[in-house]
Structure 1
Amino acid sequence: MILSKATFQSFSWLYAPQKTAIIFAFRTLIASYVVLVIALWMEMDSPRWAIMAVWIVAQNASRGEVLSKAYWVIVGNITGIVVSLIIVASFPQQPFLFDLAVALWVAFCCWVSSCTRNFRALGMVMAGYSCAIVLFSSVSDPNQTFMMAMSRGSYFIIGILAENFTARLFDLNLHNQAHKKLNDDLLLAVEEGVKSVSKMLDGNDWAVAQSDKLLSSIMALNNNIEFREREMKGSGHRGDHARAVLASVSGVLVKATGFSIHLKQMQKDVLNFHYIVPLTQTYLGKLLEHLKAGTPLDETLKALNALRWECRQRIADSFYKNLGKPQATNEDYARKTLNDRILYQSLREILAELEVTLRELSQSRDLSLHDNFKFDIKPTFDFRRAWRNAIRAFFAISVGCVAWEITGWDHGPLFLAFLCMGCARFCIFENATLACWGWFKGACIAIVVGGFYNFLIMPAVSNLTFLFSLLIIPLGIGALAMCVPRLAPVASTYAFFFCYMLGFANEGRVDEISFFNNASALFLSGVCALVSYRVFFPYRARRIRRQMRLKLLKGLHHLANPTASLPLAREWVGAVTEALVILMRQLNEDRNTTLIKSYRHGSMAVMLIGINIIRLRHMVDHDIMTEDIKDILRVVLRRIAAFEGRKAKYARYARTVMIAHRAIARFRQREATEKNLAVRIEVSAAISSLILISYALDKNASFLRVKK
């Protein structure tokens, strides 16, 4: 009974769809009908490609995403058409070089799309398989390649324009809605960040472990800002302010994580730090109330600034208040005052980052603001994944071309066109094997449903009105399924190929022989792609996780290398956050909670270690510290550059952690006797960073110990 009820509920998307899904299905069906009528009225040679273009662009997402997708699909389509003309002109009577050129071009498109983000990747995918479609559709008569290119290009452009025109009918007051949605998302991110800081002040370690969820949502929102900017075109640089808000929230979380470690280690060995904690928590509570009420942030920023100055005054008092008094020479008293200063400074840094967050949030809300502010973070590229996708596509297409040359199958070009389409499409997905399997299932469903309609339904169709009414069920179900994330890969492939298998035309329906040949070409292309992606670099979640851990460890080694270029702190946070999101997706269905917790803490530790390495390197590069202090820091950095996580769980016996602890001990002695106030402040900051680095290395050794 429980199983049947769960099964019944799993189909709720079909019998009880959401309002957005119904609107999406309705507008996509209208766009499909409009473009099909236009293609039939213009008596185009293959109208099905026009309706297929609608389903390529169709997406149940924000208007900005649809606009971006349409733009890059058109750019990719034009690029592919131009390349197809170059290839056919270069190798008119050389089949081997012709096939090699197509395989290399699709492989190149796979490589580039694996190194790009959002729908730019889809644009390169489109450039790959639109070129293959044009070339293999005209391979029997190369003189018709230009007309074929113009025809296929026209289909795609007509379909995309029809879908966008129809979608615009459902978008009212798009500019203001986009701005409101962006503000709501930013406000939610800031509120969650403030809540996490408040929990960390309470000593809640679980708040640190849960920070990855907030960072994942920040990463997703950061990717969506590009689409909001398209919706708010001509509204200044609010997208840049929004990116600055999200980067600052990430910085608040990282600094709060470091503060929680300091608090955990020092809370029983301080003088008067606990005085400031309730004041900060009271302020954070009032800040949340102001954010929810949507009131101006001027008064809130004044209160925040006063709290920051309170921390600064406490630090200054600890330096000057007891100078010359007997207790100032007491070792226990000196240690506690230093701990106070470290905690006050750590809290002050959180408040400073929070102030930046609130100021940027206020500017992103201002509709009248038109400044020249720019903010961006350099993306990181996974070249290993890019090369693997390119090699897979090249070998799959090459084998398909050889098979066609040997057999001489008259539907071989169609088989190769579908194979190129699949290989180019799969490289967008993180798990290419899973995407390939979804593609294959969608194609098989399209073959079955298309066969049913071709043999039993289409012979009875006599006019377009009757045809449109019959298509509501198969295309409507496909559109509703596309709104369900777990079904979207299968549903989008099904809807796309169902339109192809139905073969709309003015002169009649698809005959049985043609249908079986088309179905065979589609089915075999799916099988060939599946085999290729199972043989060449098969997907293994454990291997991907290991590669990401190794990438993070190499990133730490690079940061600690004194000759390496030093990135901005926000760039490091962004890179590690992206790796963290990928790792969490790999562990999404893993029931091993211990493993998940280890990866969460490990990724956050890497982020924290990297931030503090950047700080130490800045200290070494500046002229405030004396050379003897810099030499100690250089030794620590050299050890971190060679750290491999071996035996770090034994704390003081691990060489890197042991050296860091020795440096902390020496710096504590130096800080207590140093006469230069500027040097003393820098030494305190170095002690703070070294404590965080040694703690993170020690507690996350298993994560950083990547076996070769």
Structure 2
Amino acid sequence: MAFGQTTLKSFQWLYAPQKTAIIFAFRTLIASYVVLVIALWMEMDSPRWAIMAVWIVAQNSSRGEVLSKAYWIIVGNITGIIVSLWIMASFPQQPILFEVTVALWVALCCWVSSCTRNFRALGMVMAGYSCAIVLFSSVGNPNETFMMAMSRGSYFMLGVLAENFTARLFDLNLHHQAHKKLNDDLQKAVEEGIKSVSKMLDGDDWAVAQSDQLLSSIIGLNNNIEFREREMKGTGHTGAHARAVLASVSGLLVKATGFSIHLKQIQKDVLNFHYIVPLTKSYLLQLLDQLNKGSPLSETLIALNALRWECRQRIADSFYKNLGSPQATNEDYTRKSLNDRILYQSLREILAELDVTLRELSKSRDFNLYDKFKFDIKPSFDFRRAWRNAIRAFFAITLGCLAWEITGWDRGPLFLAFLCMGCARFCLFENATLACWGWFKGACIAIIVGGFYNFLIMPAVSNLNLLFILMIVPLGIGALAMCVPRLASIASTYAFFFCYMLGFANEGRVDEISFLNNALAVFMSGVFALASYRLFFPYRSRRLRRQMRMKLLQGLHHLAQSSSSSLPLAREWVGFVSEAFVVLMRQLNEDRNTSLVKSYRHGNMAVMLIGINIIRLRHMVDHDIMTEDIKDILRVVLRRISMFDGRKAGYAPHARTVMVAHRAIARFRQREFSEKNLAVRIEVSAAISSLILISYALDKNASFLRVKK
């Protein structure tokens, strides 16, 4: 009974689809019908490519994503057409050079798309396989290359424009809706961040690390801002303020985690810090209430500045108030006073980051704000993955060309065109093997359904009206399936190839022999791509997790070795680690080993904390406030971190790094007690604060930081 209920629920997308899925299916079907009518009316040579273009650009998402996808598909299509003309003109009678050049071009597109984001990557993919489609469609007669390029390009343009025109009919007051949606998402992220900070104040030191969904949602929101900007075109720099909000929320979480570690380490050895914690929690609760009500943030910013001023005043009092008292020479009292200053300063940094967050949130709410504010974070690229994608695509296409040369198969060009298309698209996915399986399954379903329609249904079709009615079921089911994340890759491939297998032409339907030959070409392209991606750099989750951990460790080594002039900004480091964190969590989604998942969550947050504090120590070393003997101690700690190599997985190097950090803390505490220069004491206090976080993160995350082979 339970199995039956589970099976029935898995098909809920079909018998009880969501409203957005129904609208998506309806408008995509309309766009398909429109382009098919236009292509048949204009008596184009292959109308199916027009309807296939509709399903390439179809996207059940925000209007901004559809617009961005359409734009980059057009750019990629034009680029691919230009390159196809150049390749055919350069190698009209040299088949080996021709095939190798096509493979190199598709491989180059795969490399570039792996180093870009969002639909810019799809644009490069389109440049690769649109070039291959044109070239292999005209390889039998090079003189027709130009006409073939214009034909295929016109089909893609027609499909993209029709889909966008149809989608616009369902968008009313788009820019205001996009602005409201963006502000709702930002407010939700800020509220979740404030709730995490409140948990930190209760002493839950890894609360944020146990909420990987928050960091994942921040990364996702940051990527979607580009699409919201397209929807809000002409509304100032709202997108820049939104990015600043999300960056500040990430920084808020990191600083709150550092504060919770300080609290756990020294909360029993303080003078009067604890009195301010209830005040801060009370303020955060009031802030959440005001955000929920949508109240102006001006009054709450005044209260926030009052709390910041209180922390600053307490820090100043700990330096000046008791300078002349006998207590000031007491070692126990001095140690507790220093701990107070560390906690007050850590809390003050949290409140300062919260102030930035609220101010940027207030500006992003202002629809009529036109300023010159710019904010962006440079993305990090995985060049190893890019090279692997390029090498896999090159060898897969080269071997496919070799098979064609050996067999002389008349459907070889069609097989190679779809092979290039698959290899180019697979590089968009983190798990290329899984993408291959989705492509192969979708192609097989399209062949089966297309065969049923071609052999049994199409002979009875005598007019377009009947054809449109009969297409509702296969294409409608495909559109609904595209709205389900686990079925999206299979459904999109199915809809694309189903349109190809059906043919669509004015002169009649596809005959049985042509259909079977085309089906074999489609099937073999899927088999060949799947086999190639199994042989060349096969995907393994454990290996990818290890590579990501090594990437994080190498980032720490780079920070420890760099000078302050080449250091990244703190927000850039947080963004770099957050992206790696999201990738690692995707590899652990189905892992039932909760201790392993917990270790990865804590380890990522530890790397983030260590990196932030290495950046702080680097700036201290390069500034002139500290004396040289203090800088030498910091240099020893940084050199020790830069020497620690996780690949050897030895405990001794890791333990020595922790020991050096603890010794530096002890020496700095003594120096802070005896130092007379106030500016130096402040810097030493800050160095102690950073070293506490570094030593704690290293000590508690040895299993994550020691990467085994």
TM (normalized to structure 1)?
0.99
Residue 599 (structure 1) aligns with: 600
Contact in 2 for aligned 1:482/1:489 (Cα 8 Å): yes
Distance (Å, rounded) in 2 between the aligned partners of 1:270 and 1:601: 27
Distance (Å, rounded) in 2 between the aligned partners of 1:204 and 1:657: 23
Distance (Å, rounded) in 1 between the aligned partners of 2:645 and 2:80: 46
Distance (Å, rounded) in 2 between the aligned partners of 1:647 and 1:491: 44
Equivalent runs, 1:392-431 vs 2, <5 Å: 392-431=392-431
Equivalent runs, 1:504-583 vs 2, <5 Å: 504-563=504-563, 565-583=566-584
Distance (Å, rounded) in 1 between the aligned partners of 2:245 and 2:459: 59
Structure 1 counterpart of 2:594, one-letter code? T
Residue 114 (structure 1) aligns with: 114
Equivalent runs, 1:228-307 vs 2, <5 Å: 228-307=228-307
Distance (Å, rounded) in 1 between the aligned partners of 2:453 and 2:639: 69
- SS of corresponding position for 2:486: coil
Q: What are the superposed Cα offsets for residues 568-597 of structure 1, whole Å, 9 maximum, x if unpaired?
A: 111100000000000000001100000000
Distance (Å, rounded) in 1 between the aligned partners of 2:212 and 2:623: 33
Distance (Å, rounded) in 2 between the aligned partners of 1:694 and 1:649: 15
Residue 608 (structure 1) aligns with: 609
Structure 1 counterpart of 2:576, one-letter code? A
Structure 1 counterpart of 2:696, one-letter code? Y
After TM superposition, give the deviation of residue 213 of structure 1 in Å.
2.0
Equivalent runs, 1:12-411 vs 2, <5 Å: 12-411=12-411
After TM superposition, give the deviation of residue 406 of structure 1 in Å.
1.1
Distance (Å, rounded) in 2 between the aligned partners of 1:251 and 1:174: 32
Contact in 1 for aligned 2:25/2:480 (Cα 8 Å): yes
- SS of corresponding position for 1:207: coil
Contact in 2 for aligned 1:433/1:530 (Cα 8 Å): yes
Residue 626 (structure 1) aligns with: 627
Contact in 1 for aligned 2:377/2:572 (Cα 8 Å): yes
TM (normalized to structure 2)?
0.99
Structure 2 counterpart of 1:395, one-letter code? F
Contact in 1 for aligned 2:205/2:264 (Cα 8 Å): no
Evaluate the alpha carbon distance shift between residue 562 and residue 55 of structure 1 in structure 2; reply closer, same or farther with a 3 A threshold.
closer
Q: What are the superposed Cα offsets for residues 190-225 of structure 1, whole Å, 9 maximum, x if unpaired?
A: 000000000110012351322432111000000000
Structure 1 counterpart of 2:609, one-letter code? L
Seq. identity, %: 85
Structure 2 counterpart of 1:214, one-letter code? L
- Which shifted more, 436-445 or 669-678? 669-678
Contact in 1 for aligned 2:77/2:126 (Cα 8 Å): yes
After TM superposition, give the deviation of residue 647 of structure 1 in Å.
8.5
After TM superposition, give the deviation of residue 642 of structure 1 in Å.
1.1
- SS of corresponding position for 1:208: coil
Distance (Å, rounded) in 1 between the aligned partners of 2:462 and 2:85: 39
Residue 674 (structure 2) aligns with: 673
Structure 1 counterpart of 2:6, one-letter code? A
Structure 1 counterpart of 2:585, one-letter code? M
After TM superposition, give the deviation of residue 563 of structure 1 in Å.
4.6
Residue 694 (structure 1) aligns with: 695
Distance (Å, rounded) in 2 between the aligned partners of 1:151 and 1:401: 24
After TM superposition, give the deviation of residue 654 of structure 1 in Å.
1.7
Distance (Å, rounded) in 2 between the aligned partners of 1:426 and 1:108: 14
Contact in 2 for aligned 1:67/1:230 (Cα 8 Å): yes
Structure 2 counterpart of 1:673, one-letter code? S
Structure 1 counterpart of 2:573, one-letter code? W
Contact in 2 for aligned 1:661/1:694 (Cα 8 Å): yes
Evaluate the alpha carbon distance shift between residue 563 and residue 347 of structure 1 in structure 2; reply closer, same or farther with a 3 A threshold.
closer
Aligned residues: 707
Evaluate the alpha carbon distance shift between residue 649 and residue 311 of structure 1 in structure 2; reply closer, same or farther with a 3 A threshold.
farther
Q: What are the superposed Cα offsets for residues 605-664 of structure 1, whole Å, 9 maximum, x if unpaired?
A: 00000000000000011111111100110010000101235889799x921111111110
Distance (Å, rounded) in 2 between the aligned partners of 1:208 and 1:197: 8
Distance (Å, rounded) in 1 between the aligned partners of 2:575 and 2:429: 20
Distance (Å, rounded) in 2 between the aligned partners of 1:550 and 1:663: 27
Distance (Å, rounded) in 2 between the aligned partners of 1:188 and 1:649: 42
Contact in 2 for aligned 1:211/1:253 (Cα 8 Å): no
Distance (Å, rounded) in 2 between the aligned partners of 1:187 and 1:67: 25
Give the unaligned 5+ runs of structure 2: none
Distance (Å, rounded) in 1 between the aligned partners of 2:651 and 2:304: 40
Distance (Å, rounded) in 1 between the aligned partners of 2:548 and 2:232: 36
Distance (Å, rounded) in 2 between the aligned partners of 1:477 and 1:212: 34
Structure 2 counterpart of 1:436, one-letter code? C
Contact in 1 for aligned 2:650/2:706 (Cα 8 Å): no
Give the unaligned 5+ runs of structure 1: none
- Which shifted more, 207-216 or 520-529? 207-216
Structure 2 counterpart of 1:60, one-letter code? N
Contact in 2 for aligned 1:263/1:343 (Cα 8 Å): yes
Structure 1 counterpart of 2:633, one-letter code? I
Distance (Å, rounded) in 2 between the aligned partners of 1:348 and 1:693: 20
Distance (Å, rounded) in 2 between the aligned partners of 1:425 and 1:507: 33
Residue 487 (structure 2) aligns with: 487
Distance (Å, rounded) in 2 between the aligned partners of 1:667 and 1:558: 25
Give the aligned CA root-mean-square deviation in angstroms: 1.1
After TM superposition, give the deviation of residue 124 of structure 1 in Å.
0.4
- SS of corresponding position for 1:165: helix
Q: What are the superposed Cα offsets for residues 443-483 of structure 1, whole Å, 9 maximum, x if unpaired?
A: 00000000000000000000000000000000000000000
Structure 1 counterpart of 2:45, one-letter code? D
Evaluate the alpha carbon distance shift between residue 27 and residue 250 of structure 1 in structure 2; reply closer, same or farther with a 3 A threshold.
same
After TM superposition, give the deviation of residue 685 of structure 1 in Å.
0.2
- Which shifted more, 670-679 or 575-584? 670-679
After TM superposition, give the deviation of residue 293 of structure 1 in Å.
0.6
Contact in 1 for aligned 2:388/2:537 (Cα 8 Å): yes
Distance (Å, rounded) in 2 between the aligned partners of 1:293 and 1:562: 46
Distance (Å, rounded) in 2 between the aligned partners of 1:320 and 1:650: 43
Residue 498 (structure 2) aligns with: 498
Structure 2 counterpart of 1:364, one-letter code? S
Distance (Å, rounded) in 2 between the aligned partners of 1:391 and 1:208: 39
Contact in 2 for aligned 1:212/1:604 (Cα 8 Å): no
Distance (Å, rounded) in 2 between the aligned partners of 1:131 and 1:483: 29
Distance (Å, rounded) in 2 between the aligned partners of 1:204 and 1:649: 28
Structure 2 counterpart of 1:282, one-letter code? S
